[in-house]
Structure 1
């Protein structure tokens, strides 16, 4: 007698088999691979919260479709979990389009997500840099201020690509800017606005030679490493350069290129962030790039590779790879 297999049972068998295969493939991964997760994602902000790695990228799409942010988390840099729509334009009423380049900090038990929205071209257009807040790193995030934190064009810097930097004394600064100009400003303790510097100015320009956008900053051995993106974001020459200073205000003189295309791997490698495993000298660069042969400007993927320093503290040029990085569990 022929045994009947009902569609629902067959579906369950197929799903179970696929899940088992996926689990086997995940368990057998020896490196993260690049890209580290599927989908078109750019401008990745890397962070470490609660012994997990986090990446907050831009959803890379035409600006009118770029109306939400996803996040990804991992315990080992290899296997990533997607957290969908941690914030969107329904939660940020003044944001209509082009949400991108998130930056995140944890403070007093809450998570503050800074982002740019609307791609404003002048001060008459609504938009700029905003802040959302949540009680968990995966959100959901809600509008913190009900309006942009910054909607002005100061020192010719478009209010985009913000990075929030915590100095050794606990002071938070926002470093930001497009159109080839970069500003630094001191944030209020509650992130509701800015505090003027001693000279009465609220913004200082710290633009190094070659700067285009995408600034970040970190401290290593009491030196301030300032990194940024150069070139056009849709082009193959997009790249990352850096400088080293004695304070967050510089002056910053360009030292060299850290990250750039490799004609055998990918083009347009840029707009990055940096992760350091706490208590170690293990550093990673999290960045986006464009697959070979891809011509759509929004088709960018998120990748991770090792970042190393020489004996003098200079950053060695990063080799972009298909393999990505080996597992690294946080302790």
Structure 2
């Protein structure tokens, strides 16, 4: 894999696999910058199209700043786009992953005042039976089933806290602002075999230690257990090495029967300004429970 995979500055990637096509969205990545979202298309996770604007904040009535960390899912022939705006989460819809998306609710699905933590970083997962779930949150990760139609979006049933057991397994109070090495942000979920992989970012995006941890469950809503043991005490899926730093906010994707992690990291030529580049690595399965990916150039 040649890194970075796109020439634009961007981070917080999410990749939707739709048949043999891959659609990647992110924070940044085009002329629209912080005022909306773009999407790239690929067949192989390595060669990507030019970015196409799929949602412009001029078409969102309730926010116009902080276009962060989107996610996408297909349901019944429609594509649903969960996006951050003004540190709130909205839902948009289109009949194509390449847009243009329409804001469904005309207001946030999750407002910044709904919870006592930052309501950012949405992530969809669709189960084998078609049920769609949405996870989100910084400092704490909540998740629930979500019902989606072209004219509505609403949570259904219980809201589970995926990060609660992660804190307890690590012997830490939950949540704790000084314990970003346990859980910070950027939940990602994917089914691998008969289990569900939950990964997330630790530390802060500006921290050179920004990295990815993970846990497994038998149900999409958990409980998720970190495979901690003597040989793998930190349970790290991806972290920086040598002069590569800030490897976090990632998305795990399947391609040709193997799994890859796409992520943002600090640009090598970073000086006065914060810049990120998007990269992709193959995941190695050390055994049934333990995974690792090594950042490359």
Counterpart of 1:73 in structure 2 is 41
Give the aligned CA root-mean-square deviation in angstroms.
2.1
**Does residue 218 of structure 1 match 2:190?**
yes
- Which has the larger share of strand? 2
Shift of residue 169, structure 1, vs aligned partner: 3.0
Q: State how 1:8-27 maps to structure 2 within 5 Å.
A: none
Counterpart of 1:227 in structure 2 is 199
Counterparts of 1:157 and 1:249 in 2: how far apart (Å)?
Answer: 20
The 1:74/1:221 distance shift into structure 2, 3 A limit, reads closer
Q: Spell out, residue by residue over 1:14-39, the C-alpha distance to the aligned partner (whole angstroms, 9 max, x if none).
A: xxxxxxxxxxxxxxxxx4x2111112
TM-score, normalised by the number of residues in structure 2: 0.85
Counterpart of 1:318 in structure 2 is 293
Counterparts of 1:152 and 1:80 in 2: how far apart (Å)?
Answer: 34
Counterpart of 1:86 in structure 2 is 54
Match of 2:253 among 271, 275, 289: 275
**Does residue 56 of structure 1 match 2:25?**
yes
**Which structure has the bigger radius of gyration?**
1
Q: Please, which runs of 5 or more residues in structure 1 have no aligned partner?
A: 1-30, 120-127, 198-202, 323-331
How many corresponding residue pairs? 271
Q: Please, which runs of 5 or more residues in structure 2 have no aligned partner?
A: 168-181, 228-234
Counterparts of 2:105 and 2:156 in 1: how far apart (Å)?
Answer: 17
Q: Spell out, residue by residue over 1:258-314, the C-alpha distance to the aligned partner (whole angstroms, 9 max, x if none).
A: 1111123x210000101102xx43111010001235145640011111012133242
The 1:204/1:78 distance shift into structure 2, 3 A limit, reads closer
Counterpart of 2:230 in structure 1 is none
Counterparts of 1:149 and 1:251 in 2: how far apart (Å)?
Answer: 25
**Does residue 111 of structure 1 match 2:79?**
yes
Q: State how 1:41-52 maps to structure 2 within 5 Å.
A: 41-52=10-21
Q: Spell out, residue by residue over 1:65-100, the C-alpha distance to the aligned partner (whole angstroms, 9 max, x if none).
A: 611111111223332112332111111121210011
Match of 1:148 among 87, 108, 112: 108
Q: Spell out, residue by residue over 1:176-231, the C-alpha distance to the aligned partner (whole angstroms, 9 max, x if none).
A: 101x111011212435111123xxxxx22121231100001112221121100000
Shift of residue 168, structure 1, vs aligned partner: 3.2
Q: State how 1:251-270 maps to structure 2 within 5 Å.
A: 251-255=223-227, 256-264=235-243, 266-270=244-248
- Give 3-state SS (helix, strand or coil) of 2:34's partner: coil
